[in-house]
A and B are shown apart, each in its own frame.
Chain A
Amino acid sequence: MKSIYQAAIVILIVSGILIFINDKLNEGGSAGKNTITVYNWGEYIDPDLIKQFEKETGIKVIYETFDSNEGMMGKIEQGGTSYDITAPSEYMVEMMKEKNLLLPLDYSKIPNIKHIDPYFLDLPFDPGNTYSIPYFWGTVGIAFNPTLLEGQTFESWESLWDPTLKQRVILVDSARETVGMSLNSLGYSLNSTNLGELREATDKLKALTPNVKAVIGDEVTQLMVNGEAAISLTWSGQAADMMYENEDIDYVVPEEGSNLWFDNFVIPRTAKNIEGAHAFLNFMLDPEVAAQNADYVGYSTPNLTALDLMDPEVVEDERFYPDEETRSHLEVYKNLGLELLGVYNELFLEFKMNLR
Chain B
Amino acid sequence: MERIGKLPKLYLTVVFIILYAPIFYLIFYSFNSGGGMSDFESFTWEHYAAVFEDKRLIVIVLNTIIIALLSALASTAIGVIGALAIYFMRNKKMRNAVLSLNNILMVSPDVIIGASFLILFTMIGVKLGFASVLISHIAFSIPIVVIMVLPKLSEMNPTLIDAARDLGATSKDIMTRVILPFIKPGIFAGFFLALTYSLDDFAVTFFVTGNGFSTLSVEIYSMARTGISLTINALSGIIFVVTVGLVLGYYALNRKLKAPLAGVKK
Tell me whether A and B are bound partners: yes
Contact B36 A244 (CB under 8 A): yes
Contact partner of B226 (CB less than 8 A), chosen from A62, A71, A81, A237, is A237
Contact B212 A22 (CB under 8 A): no
Q: How far is the CB of A239 from chain B (nearest CB, A)?
A: 12
Residue A56 interfacial (CB < 8 Å): no
Contact partner of A80 (CB less than 8 A), chosen from B121, B187, B212, B229, is B121
- Give the residues in chain B near A29, CB-CB below 8 Å: 212
Q: Considering the complex, which residues of chain A in the window 22-80 have a beta carbon less than 8 Å from any beta carbon of chain B?
A: 22, 25-26, 29, 37, 41-44, 47, 62-67, 71, 74-75, 78-80
Contact A80 B118 (CB under 8 A): yes
A contacts with B: majority SS: helix
Contact B211 A37 (CB under 8 A): yes
Residue B159 interfacial (CB < 8 Å): no
Contact A4 B118 (CB under 8 A): no
Residue B256 interfacial (CB < 8 Å): no
Taking A75-B128, A78-B118 as given, write out 7 further A-B residue pairs in contact, using a Cβ cutoff of 8 Å, ordered by the A residue number.
A42-B225, A43-B229, A47-B54, A67-B224, A75-B210, A81-B128, A221-B227
Give the number of chain A interface residues (Cβ < 8 Å): 48
Q: Considering the complex, which residues of chain B in the window 180-220 have a beta carbon less than 8 Å from any beta carbon of chain A?
A: 180-181, 184, 187-188, 191, 206-207, 209-212, 214, 218-219
- Contact stretch, chosen from B66-74, B82-90, B139-147: B66-74
Residue A164 interfacial (CB < 8 Å): no
Q: How many A-B residue pairs have CB under 8 A?
A: 121
- With A1-B184, A22-B59, A67-B222 given, is the CB distance from A15 to B229 under 8 Å? no
Q: How far is the CB of A138 from chain B (nearest CB, A)?
A: 12
Q: How far is the CA of A44 from the CA of B188 in the complex (A)?
A: 41
Q: How far is the CB of A101 from chain B (nearest CB, A)?
A: 14
- Give the residues in chain B near A221, CB-CB below 8 Å: 227
Q: How far is the CA of A71 from the CA of B118 in the complex (A)?
A: 12
> A192-225: contact bitstring with B at CB < 8 Å (1 yes, 0 no)?
0000000000000000000000000010011001
- With A42-B224, A80-B127, A245-B38 given, is the CB distance from A65 to B176 under 8 Å? no
Contact A82 B211 (CB under 8 A): yes
- Give the residues in chain B near A12, CB-CB below 8 Å: 73
Q: How far is the CA of A279 from the CA of B5 in the complex (A)?
A: 70
Contact B226 A42 (CB under 8 A): yes
Nearest B residue to A217 by beta-carbon distance? B224
- Give the residues in chain B near A7, CB-CB below 8 Å: 188, 191
Residue A3 interfacial (CB < 8 Å): yes
Q: How far is the CA of A64 from the CA of B219 in the complex (A)?
A: 8
Contact A11 B69 (CB under 8 A): yes
- With A1-B184, A62-B212, A80-B118 given, is the CB distance from A25 to B225 under 8 Å? no
Contact A79 B222 (CB under 8 A): no
Nearest A residue to B57 by beta-carbon distance? A47
- Give the residues in chain B near A65, CB-CB below 8 Å: 214, 218-219, 222-223
Contact B62 A22 (CB under 8 A): yes
Residue B122 interfacial (CB < 8 Å): yes
Residue B63 interfacial (CB < 8 Å): yes
Contact B38 A71 (CB under 8 A): no
Contact A225 B59 (CB under 8 A): no
